[in-house]
Structure 1
């Protein structure tokens, strides 16, 4: 049995029928410090983008959304401008002698579309705090105007005895393994929250582009020219960055900023927040080895992590909101993030002619087997589970030792091939094409 966990549903063709235009400009400042080995650099990139929806929502598709945890991302936008956005990326680097320094980066944005009403005149919406033809404050802030700190770390490189070493402390990203374009199937899935919007909407986006920085300490050591060791410990759990509920292309309205309710067939079921893991307990380690007997680089990995996307939705059942013919019904829902998933694996990479070829195999223990969240009109199945804790005498479920969902072991395999094209009549500067194959199953 194969599984794939995702909080997203398949986007319908009507939503995808849009065109996007973008332009950008960059400006770099390098400060004169008076010392050749002391450099301070400040880079700023300003980008403007717009999205125009080519078709109105399909009426048959809108009917399918009724009673499902999706639809606002389609209902809210008729034909016309769906995004009118300005982004600023700012990067500040201080480096001394090439072996120590700091890096701070952040991004901010403004989208005029989300500061006005929307086109949803159906009266159906997952909003509780405002009408269907308005974006709620959570969505408006997340997409309309916000800022985010990305990197914020110090680093040091040097020798411990005769062993080259390096350490980073602060907000940064660490990537192990050979996964290139989709980190969900590899060791990289353990290593940090993901920008799901970028991963889903930017063609060919690589793990290094959508894995978000998190607070941690990481280090590498090279005891010999053939062996390198690495490890990290994360100080805080952070969830992945989801589509804001009701934003254009949003495939699910029960997770992400602005997610206020589950609109079932009977009445809105309000969100009660998240059941999150503990802050600590996330770590990883790797060993890389280049043998003399072959042109190979081998790797061994182990990591413990907490889920960054919802493992399940608990539909909390209680008194006061009955569903005929019974006396009880759903009173709220909770997004659940599972705690303490162990993963370990191995990898190999080499060059074969004009191809860089790699393979990564791994296993996971105590992993949720929910298969992900998807549209449903039922209170059970498809990642949704009825939680009777609110009823008198009901059992208490959690995201650790007593989950409502099944947990178990899974196996994962990733194959990556990057073919390099030499300069030719069609590609003056050459080029490359990358292919990744992922396989996984429940053990």
Structure 2
């Protein structure tokens, strides 16, 4: 069941969620199988059952794996050269070693080989709607079980809870319709609900941020949008003063975070800030990780030398180097790990907003919208606590969610010539928190050790400055950020060049502008896949930094586009099947958006080719293939092409 559409002056104005569903290539909605009524009480009960599987279709790229994965003794070799004062030789060894300068982004890559199942799940999603007079109730829940991931011991319990097995109550809200004045109508809703504002289609981080998203739910083959948007407990009211002017008010009763890919899952590209992550590795990819499963980190690294035997890497390393050396390598990994402290979640209160929509018949029948929202960050930002002793692992990092972000928005929705529908939006945040480069943050956390380091070249340097023992380090700064995006939709009817009943083509173009972003020489912000520091390296005086990172840091302006096409062929070959091939193409054209969750990474592309066969509007089969490319060396998933199959039945 989709969100009801609004009608203004006899024309349908799509709400953003309905637009997203329609633009998700006009997928046919299942027919309601069971409707009932008794007196003034009526309702419907819909259920969707699905099975889906996905496979990895590409070999790993060695350049996306830590150097220590190929040679766990590399850090010891480098240390031996440095002890002799041969720093340039140590740098040459590190540069020549196979792999990347980070051990913090490859766990998900290592756990799944080419042609491995990455998901193998069944799912059921029931929905109930009841109406009585002007009152109504709507509930939706979902349950899935993934046979591939539910019992994986190399995943943390938190990761298995996300992608292995889960029951979740989604929507659960009541509403009442009412009238006021001579022609005013309104609705009030209370409970867990999805509130969709703005006109975004594919590109995120615009106006539509009230509800968080479960990214893991979107990764399951056959996933539907309604299963990924996380309803938030809230009060929402709309007031239609007349056919042209309406207002909306909302107050959120709780805070929800975006559920990013858990550590070690197939699509994860961050091992330490994702759910289940428990430490971040120092050493720029040369120090071996102490454990494969982050859940074992504390009992391995903080139980004394005897704890090293708790590592799930002991058998693997012992087979290669003998047990004594294996224990030394695990100990080195523990010494080179910065532990994670508990998350600092945002509070539930202090989130509210208002919207106004006006239908201007004199301006080409265009609907305009104005929005204001005060909310807390849905995405985590990383901050730290400086070391409290001589060992690097006495420092900590933690995730926090800055509060009180202000959002101002403008949207439009109209028709252009030649039957092209255009919708778009402009959003502005005067205090958007942006993530500072994690290398600068980690080095800042180590600066208290400088008092015991006489050699200047070996001291820890950070653009954030120097800190005292145990001092907190904020890893983000607020900036003025604007984003504009516009979607163009054209539907070609019968007689088109592909001989289909219809072809839907959707193009969304978007751009992000950070108005006051400092030069990277002053302060570097987090860009995807930037592994080393952007300052001097060993060859230019900083003996801690193996290589000067010259690219990949965020730019003040970035843009890209998303293109999707779908053709519908009804009753193919005289059968009851409708066949719908589709193509989706994403391209980040220029610039790099700062994190967290930046939209654009210059040169990054993805392609999806798929086909759906729908039988009697109830049974659907779907097959697709997705390719990731471009944006090297910073695109963290350019080696994770995958294929998916799903079957879905609605009744």
Instruction: Report the TM-score range of the alignment, normalised by the length of the smaller protein.
Output: 0.7 to 0.9
Q: Which residue in 1 is equivalent to 2:194?
A: 173
CA contact (8 A) 2:140 2:170 kept: yes
CA contact (8 A) 2:255 2:376 kept: yes
Quick one: structure 1 residues 149 and 57, their matched pair in 2 at CA, closer, same or farther if it must change by over 3 Å? same
Q: Which residue in 1 is equivalent to 2:162?
A: 142
For 1:290, what is the secondary structure of its paired residue?
A: strand
Q: Which residue in 1 is equivalent to 2:178?
A: 158
Q: Which residue in 1 is equivalent to 2:213?
A: 194
Q: Which residue in 2 is equivalent to 1:267?
A: 336
Bigger fraction of residues in helix: 2
- How is 1:222-261 mapped onto 2 (pairs within 5 angstroms)? 222-261=240-279
Say whether 1:81 aligns with 2:144.
no
Which TM-score applies when normalising by structure 2? Answer: 0.54
Q: Which residue in 1 is equivalent to 2:145?
A: 110
Q: Which of residues 42, 48, 53 is equivalent to 2:56?
A: 53
Higher-Rg structure is: 2
Structure 1: gaps (5+ residues): 1-24, 118-132, 324-328, 398-402
Bigger fraction of residues in strand: 1
- How is 1:43-442 mapped onto 2 (pairs within 5 angstroms)? 43-63=46-66, 64=99, 67-79=102-114, 80-97=116-133, 99-117=134-152, 134-162=154-182, 163-184=184-205, 186-189=206-209, 191-197=210-216, 210-265=228-283, 267-294=336-363, 295-310=365-380, 312-320=381-389, 322-323=391-392, 331-353=395-417, 354-370=419-435, 379=442, 391=469, 394=471, 396=472, 403-425=474-496, 426-442=498-514
TM-superposed CA distance for 1:284, in Å, is: 1.3
Instruction: For 2:371 and 2:36, locate their aligned partners in 1 and report how far apart those are by CA, in whole Å.
Output: 43
TM-superposed CA distance for 1:227, in Å, is: 0.4
Instruction: For 1:436 and 1:209, locate their aligned partners in 2 and report how far apart those are by CA, in whole Å.
Output: 23
Report how many aligned residue pairs link the two structures: 382
CA contact (8 A) 1:314 1:386 kept: no
CA contact (8 A) 2:119 2:221 kept: no
TM-superposed CA distance for 1:85, in Å, is: 1.1
Q: Which residue in 2 is equivalent to 1:12?
A: none
Which TM-score applies when normalising by structure 1? Answer: 0.77
* 1:310-338 Cα deviation digits (max 9, x unpaired): 1x212322224624xxxxx5532201211
CA contact (8 A) 2:388 2:469 kept: yes
Instruction: For 1:378 and 1:142, locate their aligned partners in 2 and report how far apart those are by CA, in whole Å.
Output: 29
Quick one: structure 1 residues 60 and 361, their matched pair in 2 at CA, closer, same or farther if it must change by over 3 Å? closer
Structure 2: gaps (5+ residues): 1-28, 67-98, 284-334, 445-461, 516-651
Quick one: structure 1 residues 137 and 195, their matched pair in 2 at CA, closer, same or farther if it must change by over 3 Å? closer
TM-superposed CA distance for 1:232, in Å, is: 0.7
Instruction: For 1:387 and 1:193, locate their aligned partners in 2 and report how far apart those are by CA, in whole Å.
Output: 34
For 1:224, what is the secondary structure of its paired residue?
A: coil
